Structure 1
C-alpha cells in the first residue's frame, strides 16, 4: 500500500504546525520550497523537502507527478498567501479538494478585492490605486491625510505604513519605489483612508465561523501586532454585524472553500473591512484558537484538504491571549532568556522564541520585527491577562546596536523592553 503524502508548498508561515499536524494524522508531509535554506533545515530534521521553483506551475506538476509514482498524494496545501493560488491550480490538475485559484488571485490583489467588495456594498475605507509618486500624492489629497500606503499585493504588513503628513507620504513612496521593497509583480500601490478604531478579526472555515478576536498594534506608523485575544469583548449584536458583513465578503469574493480570516476596524460608522485573507491567519492565531477552544484549525484544514470530515465544535470556552515580543532596536542579539521561567508559569500555553543569540536584528516595520511570543489561557479574562503579564515580564534580552557610520560597535547595549 502506498504511503499517503501531503504536499506543502513553500510553507514557512505555519509550516511547523502543518508538518506536526500531518504526521499526527498519519500522513507523510513533503515540502516543496524555493528556499534552499528552508529545505536544508527540514532535511536536517529528518523531514522530506524538495527544492523547486514554486513560481513554475509546470515544474510543480511534473514534480508532483513524479512523487505520485511513490506516494499516494492525498492533498496539496499551504498557509502562504503568495502561493495559495498555485495550490488551487495544482489541486484542480490532480483532482484534489482545494481553493478556487481565480478567487484566490482576485482576493490577493487588494485593489481588485476592494473593487469587488465595494460593488457588493461592503463597508470599506476609501481607496485609490497608484503606480507612481504623482498618483500617490493626488490620491492622498483626494482622500485626505492620514492615509495608509501599501503594496497592492503582499502580506504580513510588509511595506504597509500609516502616512500622517506629506513628509511621511513622500518618504514611504520613495521607499516603495526606490528599490528597497521587494515586489512580486509590477509596482502598484493602494492609498487608503485610515479606518480608525478598535481592531477585530474573524476566523472562518467554509461558511462556518470560529470566533472573533481583538488585536493591538504597536506605535505608528507601522502595523505590528503586539497582542491578540480570543474572544473579543463584543455584544451579541456587534458580533452579528461582523458576521453578516463577513458573509457578504465571502459572496462578493467567491470564497466558499477552505479557511479565511477577515480583518475589521470598528469606526464611528461601525465595522469597516480592512482586509480579507483567503487563508488561515499566521502564528500565533491557530495556537490561540486551540488554547481557547480546543480546536486545532490546522488539523481541521488538513482534513478538509484530504477530503475527510472536519469539525470546529468547541471543547471548551477559555480566554486566550498572546503577546508578541518585538525588537526595539537594530543590532546583534547578545542574549535572550527567561523562556523556561515564562513557560513554567501556570496558565501559560506556549512560549516561542524566533531568534537565537548572536543573530542580527534588522527591523522592517512588519511581522519580521517580532522575535517571539507568549500565549496564556484560562477560564477568566482577568486571570489570563495577569498570567500573560507575569510570563512576559520574565523574558528579557539585550541587543548591541550596529555601528553608526565608521564608528566602532557601541559599547552599550539596548535592553529589550516589552512596554
Structure 2
C-alpha cells in the first residue's frame, strides 16, 4: 500500500513547521515543493522531503505531483502562503482533490477587485480608489480625504502599507512603492483607502463557521506591525454577532466558504468595517493562540478538510490567550538579546521565541519582518493574561548599535553608544 502524502506548495516561516507536525500526527507524509527550499530552515532541520520546483509554473507542479503519485498516494495538496493558494486550487482540481476555488482566490487576492465585490454586496468598507501613477494617487488621496492608507493592490503581511496624513507623505510613499513594484510587477497599481479609525479585530473562519474573533493592536505609526493579539476579543454578544454576520456576508460576496478565511476589521463610529479578507489561515502565532484559547487546532482541522477527512471545530475550553511581539524602535546591529529563559519560566507563558541572533542587522521595513520575537501566554481570563505578558516582556532586553552615519570615515568614526531597548506596551 502506498504511503499517504500531504503536498505543501511552499512552506511558511512561522506556521510551516506546525503544518508538517500536524500532518505527521495525522499519519501523513509531508512533502514540500518550493522554488527556494532554503528559505525554510525547518525543512532541513526536520529532514522533511523537499523538491525544488518553480511554484509559479503550474505545468511543472503538475508534472512533479504526477511523478510523486508513482510512489505515494497523494491525500491532499495545500499551502500556507497566500501567493500560491490559487495555484493550489488549480492543482487540486487537476488531481480531483478537495481544494479552494482558484477563481475566487485570485479575485480575493486582488485587493481592488475584492473591494469592488464587497461594495456591490453592501459590505461596509472604507472609501477606496485605485491608482496607476503618481498623479492619480495624489488626486485620489484628495478625493478620499486625509488621513489615507496607501498600499500595493497586491501583497500580504502589511508590506508597503502606510498611513499618510497629508499630501507630502502620500507623495513620498508613492515614490517608494512605485520604485519597488516596477521591479516585480509589469503594471503596478496602488490602492488608497480612507483610514478607518477604531479598535482592530480579526475573525478566523473555517468553511462557513466563525470560530474565533481576536483583538489586535499595532506598534509604531505610520506602519501596521502587530504589537499584540488577544483571543477572544473583549466583545459583547451583540458585537460578536455583528462581526460574525458581516464575515459570512464577505464569504458570499467573494465566493469563498471552502477551507480557512481570515477577515480583518476596524470598529468605527459606524460599526464594524472590513479592512481585508484573506482566503487562508491567519499567519504568525494566530493558530497557536486559537488552540490555547479554545482547544481548536486550526491547522490540523485544515489538513483534515484538505484530505477529505472528518473535521470538527468544537471548542474544548475557554481561556484567554495572547501574544506580545518584540519590535525594535531603531535600525542597527543587534548586540545581544536576553531574558528569554526568565520570561519562559513565568507561570502561564507558553512560548518565548526570538527570530534573530546577535550580530544580526536590524533594518526595519514597516511590516511583519520588523518583529524580532514574541511571547505567548494563556490564563483563565483577560486581565491575568495581560499581566503575564507584561511581566514576561519586562524581563526581555536587547541592545542595538546604530549603523555608522553615511559618509563618515570608518577610520575616524567615534565609538557608537550601544542603545538599550526595553519593550514598552503601547509605545508608538
Distance 1:369 1:173, change over 3 A: same
Matched, 1:257 2:231: no
Structure 1 gaps of 5+ residues are none
User: Cα deviation per residue 1:187-221 (whole Å; 9 max; x = unaligned)?
Assistant: 11101100100101110000011111100011311
Distance in 2 (alpha carbons) for counterparts of 1:414 and 1:71: 54
User: How far did residue 90 of structure 1 move?
Assistant: 0.6
Q: Secondary structure at 1:178's aligned position in 2?
A: helix
- In 2, Cα distance between the equivalents of 1:350 and 1:115? 40
**Displacement of 1:44 after TM fit?**
4.6
Q: Deviations over 1:355-403 (max 9, x none)?
A: 1112221110000000111111011211111111111111111122211
Match of 1:228 in 2: 229
Residue 219 of structure 1 aligns with which residue?
A: 220
CA distance in 2, matches of 1:102, 1:404: 49
Q: Which residue of 2 aligns with 1:414?
A: 419
TM-score by length of 1: 0.97
State the match for 1:373 in structure 2.
374
Residue number in structure 2 paired with 1:147: 148
Distance 1:179 1:83 in 2: 21
Q: Deviations over 1:39-78 (max 9, x none)?
A: 6762353111111111000001101111111111111111
Tell me the equivalent position of 2:321. Answer: 320
Which region of structure 1 is more displaced relative to structure 2, 352-361 or 198-207? 352-361
Whole-angstrom CA distance in 2 between matches of 1:215 and 1:49: 35
Correspondences of 1:46-61 after superposition (within 5 Å):
46-61=47-62
For 2:3, the equivalent position in structure 1 comes to: 3
> Residue by residue, what CA displacement relative to the aligned partner does 1:4-54 show, whole Å, maximum 9, x if unpaired?
111111122411111111111111111111124236762353111111111
Contact 2:227-2:325 within 8 A present in 1 as well: yes
RMSD, aligned CA: 1.4
Aligned pairs (5 A) from 1:118-157: 118-157=119-158
1:227-252 deviations in whole A, cap 9, x for unaligned? 00011111111111111111110000
Q: How do 1:198-217 residues align onto structure 2 when only pairs under 5 Å count?
A: 198-217=199-218
Match of 2:169 in 1: 168
- Measured at CA, do residues 185 and 266 of structure 1 come closer, stay the same or move farther in structure 2, by a change above 3 Å? farther
Alpha-carbon distance change, 323 to 39 in structure 1, aligned in 2, over 3 angstroms: closer
2:280 paired with 1:279: yes
For 2:271 and 2:40, the matched residues in 1 are separated by 45
CA drift of 1:179 comes to: 3.2
Residues 307-361 of structure 1 show CA distances to partners (whole Å, capped at 9, x for unaligned) of 1111111111001111011122212211111111111110011112111112221
User: 1:374-393, aligned counterparts within 5 Å?
Assistant: 374-393=375-394
Change (3 A) 1:2 1:184: farther
Alignment CA distance shift 1:400-1:157 (3 Å): same
Would the alpha carbon gap of residues 275 and 185 (structure 1) be closer, same or farther in structure 2, given more than 3 Å must change?
Answer: farther
- 3-state SS, counterpart of residue 46 of structure 1: coil
- Per-residue deviation, 1:183: 3.7
Question: What is aligned with 2:17?
Answer: 16
Structure 1, 109-118 or 30-39: larger mean CA deviation: 30-39
C-alpha separation between the residues in 2 aligned to 1:100 and 1:185? 25
Task: Tell me if structure 2 keeps the 8 A contact 1:211–1:230.
Answer: yes
Q: Which residue does 1:75 correspond to in 2? A: 76
Tell me which residue corresponds to 2:93: 92
Q: What is the match of residue 344 of structure 2?
A: 343
- Partner of 1:416: helix, strand, or coil? strand
Distance apart, 1:288 and its partner CA: 0.5
Q: Name stretches of at least 5 consecutive residues in structure 2 with no aligned partner.
A: none
2:203 aligned counterpart, secondary structure? strand
**Which residue of structure 1 aligns with residue 243 of structure 2?**
242
Q: Note the C-alpha offset of 1:186.
A: 2.6
2:372 aligned counterpart, secondary structure: strand
8 Å Cα contact 2:396-2:422 kept in structure 1: no
| Mean Cα deviation higher: 305-314 or 5-14 | 5-14
Distance 1:146 1:417, change over 3 A: same
